[in-house]
Structure 1
Amino acid sequence: MTMHIEDPVSRSPGGTSYWPDVGASLVVFLVALPLCVGIAVASGVPAELGIITGVVGGLVVGLLPGSSLQVSGPAAGLTVLVADTVATHGAAALGVIVLGAGLLQVALGLLRLGRWFRAISPAVVQGMLAGIGLVLVLGQLYPFAGRSAPATTWEKVAGLPGLAVAAVTSPAGIGVGVLTLVVAALWKRTRFRAVPGVLVAVVVASGVAVFLPLARIEVGSLGEAVRLVDFTLVDAGVLGAAVTFALVASAESLFSAAAVDRMHNGPRTQYNRELVAQGVGNTLCGVLGALPMTAVIVRSATNVQAGARTKASRVLHGVWLLVFVVALPGVLSYVPLAVLAAILVQAGWKLLEPRRVLELARTDRAESAVLLLTAGLIVTTDLLTGTLVGVLAAVVKTAWDVSRLTVTVTPDGGEHEHVTLRGNATFLKLPRLLEALEALPVTKHVRIDLRGLRHLDQACRQAIEQWAAAHRTAGRTVDLIRPASA
Structure 2
Amino acid sequence: MTRQEELPARTGTFVPDIGASLVVFLVALPLCVGVAVASGVPAELGIVTGVVGGLVAGVLPGSSLQVSGPAAGLTVLVADAVASHGLAAMGLIVLGAGLLQIAMGLLRLGRWFRAISPAVVQGMLAGIGLVLILSQLYPLAGQEQPRTTGEKFAGLFELLRDAVVNPAAVAVAVLTLVVTALWQRAPEKVRMVPGMLVAVVVASAVGAFLPVPRIEVGPLSDVIMLVDVSLLDAGVFGAMLTFALVASAESLFSAAAVDRMHNGPRTRYNRELVAQGVGNTVCGVLGALPMTAVIVRSATNVRAGARTKLSRVLHGVWLLVFVVVLPEVLAFVPIAVLAALLVQAGWKLLELPRVVKLVRTDRAESAVLLLTAGLIVVTDLLTGTLVGLLAAVVKTAWDVSRLSVVVDEDGPDHEHVTLRGNATFLKLPRLLDALEGLPVTKHVRVDLRGLRHLDDACRQAIEGWAEAHRAAGRSVNLIRP
Query: Quick check: TM above 0.5?
Result: yes
Counterpart contact for 1:25–1:316, Cα < 8 Å: yes
SS of the residue 2:191 aligns to = coil
Q: Give the one of 45, 57, 61 matched to 1:61.
A: 57
Residue identity matched to 2:435: L
Q: 1:148 aligns with which of 144, 148, 169?
A: 144
Which portions of structure 1, spanning 4 or more consecutive aligned residues, are displaced by more than 3 angstroms? 11-16
Q: Are 2:451 and 1:453 equivalent residues in the alignment?
A: yes
Q: 2:437 aligns with which of 427, 439, 442?
A: 439
Q: Aligned runs of 1:112-127 on 2, under 5 Å?
A: 112-127=108-123
* Aligned equivalent of 1:398: 396
Q: Which amino acid aligns with 2:308?
A: T
Structure 2 residue identity aligned to 1:448: V
Question: Does the CA contact (< 8 Å) of 2:49 and 2:70 recur in 1?
Answer: yes
Paired-residue identity, %: 79
Q: What's 1:31 paired with?
A: 27
Alignment of 1:278-357 (within 5 A): 278-357=276-355
How does 1:61-460 map onto structure 2 within 5 Å?
A: 61-191=57-187, 192-460=190-458
| Secondary structure, counterpart of 2:192 in structure 1 | coil
Gaps of 5+ in 1: 1-5
How far off its partner does 1:474 sit? 1.4
For normalisation by structure 1, the TM-score amounts to 0.96
Secondary structure of 1:307's counterpart equals: coil
CA shift, 1:14, in A, is 3.6
Shift of 1:337: 0.3
Matched-pair contact (CA < 8 Å) for 2:440–2:469: no
Q: Is the 8 A contact 1:144 1:342 kept in 2?
A: yes
Provide the C-alpha distance between the structure 2 equivalents of 1:150 and 1:440, rounded to a whole number of angstroms. Answer: 64
- 2:420 alignment partner, SS class: strand
How far is the alpha carbon of 1:17 from its aligned partner? 2.7
Could you say what the CA RMSD is over the residues aligned between the two structures, in angstroms? 1.2
Question: Equivalent of 1:49, from 45, 52, 65?
Answer: 45
Q: Counterparts of 2:248 and 2:426 in 1: how far apart (Å)? A: 33
- Aligned-pair distance for 1:12? 7.1
Distance in 1 of aligned mates of 2:66 and 2:218 = 29
- Name the residue aligned to 1:3: none
> Which residue identity does 1:446 align to in structure 2?
V
What secondary structure does 1:421 align onto?
A: strand
How big is each residue's C-alpha offset from its partner over 1:281-317, in whole Å with a ceiling of 9 and x where there is no partner?
Answer: 0000000110000000000000000000000000000
Residue 20 (1) aligns with residue 16 (2): yes
SS of residue in 1 equivalent to 2:416? strand
1:139 partner SS? helix
Partners of 1:12 and 1:216 in 2: how far apart? Answer: 48
**How many angstroms does 1:24 deviate by?**
0.3
Rounded to whole Å, the distance in 2 between the matches of 1:15 and 1:287 is: 36
Please give the TM-score of this superposition, normalised by the length of structure 2: 0.97
Task: Report how far residue 13 of structure 1 moved.
Answer: 7.7
The superposition leaves residues 381-406 of structure 1 with CA deviations (integer Å, 9 ceiling, x where unpaired) of 00000000000000000111111100
Cα contact 2:13–2:308 (8 A) shared by 1: no
Q: Is the 8 A contact 1:108 1:114 kept in 2?
A: yes
